[in-house]
Amino acid sequence: MIIDCHGHYTTEPKDLHRFRKEQIAAANAKDKTALPSRASLKMSDDEIRESIEQNQLKLQRERGTDLTIFSPRASGMGHHIGDESISFEWSQICNDLIHRVCALYPKNFIGVCQLPQSPGVPPKNSAAELERCVKELGFVGCNLNPDPSGGYFNSPPLTEKWWYPFYEKMIELDVPAMIHVSGCCNPAMHTTGSYYLNADTMAFMQLILSDLFKDFPTLKLIIPHGGGAVPFHWGRFRGLALNNGRPELDEIIKNNIFFDTCVYHQPGINLLTDVVPVENILFASEMVGAVKGVDPKTGFNFDDTKRYIEKAPRLSDADRAKIFEGNARRVYPRLKTKATVKAAV
């Protein structure tokens, strides 16, 4: 079985965009009377089916993957927009929509939630929505935004006590978080080209110099997009860790930090699988997402990452099995009750 741990619903029914546009306009105007109602949303099962079958499901079948761990569009979370109540309403709507996809295709998709984070609001306020999504909707994880400001990095580091009550809820529910920023409103950064990778790299550096995993030995965090700049600069991070009296990186990350394979070329995957322990790598494609289209050099889609894993020269079959399935089952323990049946192709 091949589990893709990083997929977003980027082909949502169009009325969701109408709703969000009206919601943002009302938030910007600070006019609560102009907020659209949830009841106004018109998204039929047929519309959802069509959007999935023509896109994510079609690609799963073509590429030979089985199950996608599926969350709302990351760049659309927009935690910097409006206040906490806006973020709460928007997150619940997006999470409920993911739940509908998972209910329509239970063998192909399993949910991960967006959190109702908002700038300056303690992360503990997102614990209730996480609990709702896990207990009521059967979700297996969450996307945790380290920078709800949308590009200004003014939140406390992920290792500060500010975040601890939320981690306690994650531990209680036995779910991991993918550290994932949203759309960027800082004009100096491109959302998927620089902001995402900057945040990934920042998170890793915060984590390796901290005692976070002494306080939470079972906390599991996934750093997406191949870990940002981390694998390429492994020597720099390793040296900084050792110079600060920390153990080897392999030891620091062992049970707690994982990287996905959303790296869109063969040499990048070769490097990732060369320097990061196989046990800490999870298969992912982030399709249909950040980099659409066909690589003219290979003739295959940039985000068709399965073929890079298959061709990575240093991996054994046993390594590939860990990356494709075994590691995901360890990191997302709640998968074991849900994802036991191989998807029908």
Q: How far is the CB of 7 from Zn ion (least distance, A)?
A: 8
CB of 91 to Zn ion, least distance (A): 16
**Of the candidates 259, 258, 343, 270, which has an alpha carbon nearest to the alpha carbon of residue 307?**
270
Catalytic pick among 12, 89, 129, 286: 286
Stretch binding Zn ion (CB under 5 A), from 74-82, 87-95, 205-213, 301-309: 74-82
* Stretch of 69-77, 78-86, 243-251, 300-308 lying at the interface with Zn ion (CB under 5 A): 69-77
SS (H, E, C) 237-295: HHHHHHHCCCCCHHHHHCCCEEEECCCCCHHHHHHHHHHCCHHHEECCCCCCCCCCCEC
> Considering beta carbons, is residue 27 or 110 the nearer one to Zn ion?
110
d(CA 60, CA 194) in angstroms, rounded, equals 27
User: How many residues at the interface with Zn ion, by CB under 5 A?
Assistant: 2
- Nearest one of 49, 67, 57 to 6, comparing CA atoms: 67
CB nearer Zn ion, residue 213 or residue 264 = 264
Judged by beta carbon, residue 72 or residue 213, the one nearer Zn ion is 72
Q: Please, which residue, 71 or 249, has the CB nearer to Zn ion?
A: 71
Closest-CB residue for Zn ion?
A: 74
**Burial class of residue 249 (count of CB atoms within 10 Å of its CB; 0-12, 13-18, 19+):** buried
Locate 66 and state its tokens: 């089985």
Taking the complex as a whole, the smallest distance from the CB of residue 180 to Zn ion amounts, in Å, to: 5
**Gap between the Cα atoms of 4 and 328, Å rounded:** 9
Task: Decide if 3 contacts 69 (C-beta within 8 A).
Answer: yes
194 and 186 in contact (C-beta within 8 Å)? Answer: no
- The pair phi, psi for residue 258, each rounded to 5°, is -130, 150
How would you label 274-289 residue by residue, b for 16+ Cβ within 10 Å and e otherwise? ebbbbbbbbbbbbbbb
Indicate if 172 belongs to the active site: no
Q: Does 343 bind Zn ion (CB under 5 A)?
A: no
Residue (of 118, 72, 74) closest to 96 by Cα position = 72
- Is 2 a binder of Zn ion (CB under 5 A)? no
Nearer to Zn ion, 183 or 249 (CB): 183
Residue 74 contacts Zn ion per CB under 5 A: yes
Residue 263 binding Zn ion, by CB under 5 A: no
Q: Write down the least CB distance from residue 140 to Zn ion, Å.
A: 16
Q: How far is the CB of 67 from Zn ion (least distance, A)?
A: 17
Which x/- pattern, by CB under 5 A, does the window 271-300 give for Zn ion? Answer: ---------------x--------------
Give the residue numbers annotated as catalytic, written as ranges: 286
Contacting positions for Zn ion (CB under 5 A): 74, 286
